[in-house]
A and B are shown apart, each in its own frame.
Chain A
Amino acid sequence: MKQTKHFGAALAVTMALVAPAWAQSPAPAKPAKDPAAIAALDSMAAYLRTLKAFQVESATTTDEVLSNGQQVTYSAKTMILAEMPSKLFATVSSDRNERTYVYDGKNFTLVARRVGYYATVPAPATLRELDDVLSEKYGIEIPLADLFRWGGPNWSNADITAAADAGPGEVDGVTCQHYLFRQEGSDWQIWIQKGAYPLPRKLVITTTSDPARPQHSAVFKWNLAPSYNAEAFTFTPSANVSRIPMAEAK
């Protein structure tokens, strides 16, 4: 049966020629959530929550989107001094204005020093709850809030839908590992310091719920041993500022 043999050989050769694309077993798919990236985020969050007090200076940029889809990028210099869980003194100096945020665990005060106004409202007992109330009720964002939210009570990484390790990256001369995360409404990137102090050194958040995909970026300089006293979190109005109300956001 010569014909069959040749046919069989021909068939085998043909199969070998067309097979490669689909006959090999496919390479194992990378998981959408790289467990090593999630673990790095957890480790960073856990480390942050061991800090009783910290001071961070940050250079930030924040995009705003005009109604025609065009983006305007504003820059700011921010400083926060936080004593966990319930004290904060922060200043923001942006292209548009200067603001001071003071919180002592009981009251929160927002100061617009240059225009001469301040507003004080009663506040919940922790920074995380304060950030929730300010953003939902008053439309106010405490700067660099993730630094005191990561790893705290009510925090979890469950919202993250994708996580990947993008490799090493340098921020301000510090060697970091660069990770990519996705969750509903935002893609974000974080550069975590390598070594014994897994601090976030840079954060870039891209808002994906708007087609213009506006971005916020922040680079962090850390002081893990800030010197301050309790007065830092107390607000005493000077003669230059008058009290005004805080309108509720609609």
Chain B
Amino acid sequence: MTRLAKSSSAIVMALLIGALGTASVHADRNRARTSVNRSKSVKVDSNRRTNVDIDRNRDINIDRDRDINIDRDRDVDIDIDRDRDIDVDIDRYGCCYHSGWGTAAAITTALVVGSVVNTLPPNCTTVVVNGFAYRQCGSTWYQPQFYGSRTTYLVVNSPR
């Protein structure tokens, strides 16, 4: 595939995921200043925020998978606590939270390295390489990162 065709298909994929990923079609354009003494206002990157429910969807979709698939070798107490946290969150927000803003789309095709997504597909495992955590979902590797105080996932080449 030529480079142009690859990046075009990546753009199409990103647009498709963006469109499927949320019932809200509007990206954020701005946020209220929270300080009168900072010299610059902190921008919201509207290109990133196509899905309003970033962390909470991730809590619901991903940690459950992580518990089932990955944490067998980990301390059982951790699994119990994580499930309890997730259940509490769903009880608190589940009913009304999804109905307005939609849910994340399932991403079933590998994305181009360098693209950023807000939510992961199901069935990912956590792999720690050189002290940093990565998520492996099928053949695609993601590096979780903080972008501002949000968590996002950068598609990367396999780190090992």
| Partner-B contacts on A (CB < 8 A) | 60, 62-68, 70, 72, 96-97, 99, 110, 112, 114-117, 119, 131-132, 135-136, 138-141, 143, 145-146, 149-150, 155, 181, 183, 185-186, 188, 203, 205-207, 209-210, 212, 214-216, 218, 239-240, 242-247, 249-250
Chain A proximity mask over B8-41: 1 for CB below 8 Å, otherwise 0: 0000000000000000101111111111111111
Out of A63, A72, A115, A136, which one reaches B151, CB within 8 Å?
A: A115
Question: Would you call B147 and A249 a contact (CB within 8 A)?
Answer: yes
Docked-complex contact B33 and A205, CB < 8 angstroms: yes
- Is A139 a contact partner of B63 (Cβ separation < 8 A)? no
A205 contacts which chain B residues (CB < 8 A)? Answer: 32-36
Give the A-B contact count at a CB cut-off of 8 A.
167
In the complex, what residue of chain B is closest to A131 when comparing beta carbons? B38
Q: Are B33 and A140 in contact (CB under 8 A)?
A: no
Instruction: Flag if B146 contacts A110 (CB, 8 Å).
Output: yes
**Which B residues form the contact surface with A (CB < 8 A)?**
24, 26-46, 52-56, 58-59, 62-63, 66, 74-75, 78, 81-82, 85, 89, 126, 128, 131-133, 143-152, 154
Q: At the interface, is chain A mostly helix, strand, loop or mixed?
A: mixed
Tell me the interface secondary structure of chain B in the complex.
mixed
Given A114-B85, A132-B38, decide whether A63 and B31 contact each other with a Cβ distance below 8 A: yes
Q: In the bound complex, what is the Cα–Cα distance between A207 and B78 (angstroms)?
A: 43
Within the assembled complex, what's the spacing in Å between the Cα atoms of A114 and B62?
Answer: 11
Complex interface: chain B residues within 8 A of A132 (CB): 38-39
Q: Cβ of B46: which chain A residues have Cβ within 8 Å of it?
A: 67
Known: A135-B40, A243-B133. A64 touches B32 (CB 8 A): yes
